[in-house]
Amino acid sequence: MKWRVSSTLNEEADRRYARWLGSAGIDFAWTRPGEPPPPDFAALLLPGGGDVDPDLYGAARHPRTNMVNRARDESEIGLVRLALERGRPVFGICRGLQVIQVVLGGRLIQHLPEAGEVHAQVEGRDSGHPVDVEAGSRLAAVLGARAEVNSAHHQALDPAALGRGLKITARSPGGIVEAVEGVGVPVLAVQWHPERMPPGHPASRDLLRLFQALASEGNPA
Catalytic residue among 62, 134, 193, 201: 193
Judging by DSSP bridges, how do beta strands 44-46 and 28-31 pair with one another?
unpaired
Q: How many CB atoms lie within 10 A of CB 110?
A: 22
Q: Is 123 a catalytic residue?
A: no
Distance in angstroms (rounded) separating the CA atoms of residues 155 and 91? 18
Beta strands in the chain (DSSP E): 3-6, 28-31, 44-46, 90-93, 108-109, 127-133, 146-151, 156-157, 166-171, 177-182, 187-190
Q: Is 193 a catalytic residue?
A: yes
Query: Reading across the β-sheet that carries 177-182, which strands appear in turn?
Result: 28-31, 3-6, 44-46, 90-93, 187-190, 177-182, 166-171, 127-133, 146-151
Distance in angstroms (rounded) separating the CA atoms of residues 60 and 147? 34
Catalytic residue among 76, 94, 119, 178: 94
- In sequence order, the β-bridge partners of residue 30 are 5
Question: Do residues 178 and 191 make contact, with C-beta atoms less than 8 angstroms apart?
Answer: yes
**How much of the chain is helix, strand and coil, in % rounded to 5?**
35, 25, 45
CA 200, distance to chain mean position in Å, is 20
Q: Is 117 a catalytic residue?
A: no
Catalytic residue among 129, 154, 195, 201: 195
Kindly list the catalytic residues: 94, 193, 195
